């Protein structure tokens, strides 16, 4: 009997040149990736500016080895062993074949090389949304340099990473966010802001920082390991509960007032919520796009879930903004 393997039952910065050498070695030593399946058809899509994005985007944490494993350290090691350079390139190809036309990541040098290999040498056609490395954003000249490097690499859109934006708002440095947004917008590319904390989005809106899209964590709190209301200590918590959206109702209500497209992420609470439930909740409550980390063996299932959920969704309170 054929058994389907999914994550749900399977599991229950180097310099650019060095990274390039690593990818070259992977091509030489690893078995050639399996041929991508015939295209399963386009996914429903929307737009950020003139950029057309599939409603489901490929996320980066599984690829850049930042798995939220709730202190189960063996999971991170297992993921590193599985997602070799060759496997990541195969994942890009499979995502594209299943209608996922966008990869969203941060300024990780090794991933820069892998994605350029996919697009420039293997004929990949996926969009590339990239956040300049948060470590580069400590000084304005460094941030400008990081943006210039990404533009020269051919990225399609930019955004300020949540790990950069949230602390700046918490420290009262909203004006710094405005400067970084201006630097990114000067490139002519669609520019967004990501946040884990709803207060970050609210502060940026209050400061009238003009962006083309928002990236905000979003998931309900109805799963077995979710915190009780009295256990919500902040906007996010890795352990013991594991949540990345402490106020989903307030988030949906506020995002509903914004005219820009919204990319929702952490919609499965880093694996605690089944994808069908997570996707339906996120789209139904206003998200225009979903960013999801996926292993190669999850892509076909999640792409089809997206089609199914959107086909059955019906009217929603927040109009589609992208």
Which are the contacts of 54, defined by CB distance < 8 A and separation ≥ 6?
42, 43, 44, 45, 99, 100, 101, 102, 289
- In a 3-state reduction of DSSP, which class is residue 61? coil
d(CA 191, CA 267): 22
Sort 246 into a burial class: Cβ within 10 Å, 0-12 / 13-18 / 19+: buried
d(CA 237, CA 71): 12
What does 10-26 look like in DSSP terms, one character per residue?
Answer: H-----HHHHHHHHHHH
Q: For every one of its 322 residues, what pLDDT tens digit does the chain have, with 9 covering 90 and above?
A: 433 444 444 343 332 343 444 443 433 334 344 444 445 678 999 999 999 999 999 998 888 777 777 767 777 788 888 999 999 999 999 999 999 999 999 888 888 899 999 999 999 999 999 999 766 666 778 899 999 999 999 999 999 999 999 999 999 999 999 999 999 999 999 999 999 999 999 999 999 999 999 999 999 999 999 999 999 999 999 888 899 999 999 999 999 999 999 999 999 998 899 999 999 999 999 999 999 999 999 999 999 999 999 999 999 999 999 8
* Model confidence pTM above 0.75: yes
Given a contact cutoff of 8 angstroms between Cβ atoms, the answer to whether 252 and 218 are in contact is yes
- Count of other CB atoms within 10 angstroms of residue 249: 10
The pLDDT score that the predictor gives to residue 308 is 97
The pLDDT score that the predictor gives to residue 64 is 79
d(CA 57, CA 157): 13
Q: What are the tens digits of pLDDT across the range 258-276?
A: 999 999 999 999 889 999 9
188 backbone φψ class: left, alpha, beta (φ>0; ψ -120 to 50) = left
Q: Token pair for residue 178?
A: 């405005």
Sort 298 into a burial class: Cβ within 10 Å, 0-12 / 13-18 / 19+: buried
Give the up-direction half-sphere exposure of residue 212: CA atoms within 13 A in the CB hemisphere: 20
d(CA 13, CA 19): 9
What does 193-232 look like in DSSP terms, one character per residue?
Answer: EEESSHHHHHHHHHTT---SEEEEE---S-STTPPPGGG-
The CATH code belonging to domain 33-312 is 3.20.20.70
The pLDDT score that the predictor gives to residue 81 is 87
The pLDDT score that the predictor gives to residue 1 is 40
């Amino acid at each position: 009997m054929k058994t389907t393997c999914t994550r749900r039952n399977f599991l229950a910065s180097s310099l650019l040149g060095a990274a390039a050498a690593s990818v070259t070695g992977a091509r030489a030593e690893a078995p050639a990736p399996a041929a991508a399946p015939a295209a399963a058809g386009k996914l429903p899509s929307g737009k950020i500016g003139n950029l057309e994005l599939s409603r489901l985007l490929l996320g980066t944490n599984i690829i850049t080895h930042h798995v939220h494993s709730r202190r189960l350290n063996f999971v991170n090691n297992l993921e590193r062993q599985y997602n070799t350079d060759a496997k990541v390139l195969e994942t890009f190809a499979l995502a594209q074949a299943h209608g996922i036309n966008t990869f969203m990541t941060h300024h990780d040098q090794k991933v820069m090389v892998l994605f350029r290999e996919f697009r420039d040498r293997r004929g990949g056609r996926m969009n590339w949304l990239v956040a300049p490395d948060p470590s580069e954003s400590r000084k304005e000249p460094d941030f400008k340099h990081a943006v210039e490097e990404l533009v020269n690499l051919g990225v399609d859109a930019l955004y300020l990473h949540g790990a950069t934006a949230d602390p700046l708002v918490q420290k009262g440095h909203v004006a710094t966010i405005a400067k970084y947004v201006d630097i990114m917008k000067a490139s002519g590319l669609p520019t967004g802001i990501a946040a884990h904390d709803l207060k970050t989005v609210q502060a940026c809106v209050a400061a009238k920082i003009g962006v083309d899209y928002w990236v905000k964590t979003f998931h309900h709190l109805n799963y077995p390991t979710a915190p009780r209301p009295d256990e919500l200590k902040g906007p996010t918590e890795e352990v013991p509960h594991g949540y990345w959206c402490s106020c989903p109702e307030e988030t949906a209500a506020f995002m509903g007032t914004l005219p820009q497209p919204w990319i929702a992420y952490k919609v499965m609470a880093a694996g605690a919520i089944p994808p069908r439930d997570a996707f339906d909740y996120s789209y139904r409550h206003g998200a225009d796009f979903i960013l999801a980390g996926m292993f190669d063996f999850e892509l076909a299932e999640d792409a089809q879930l997206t089609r199914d959920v959107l086909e059955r969704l019906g009217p929603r309170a927040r109009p589609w903004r992208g």
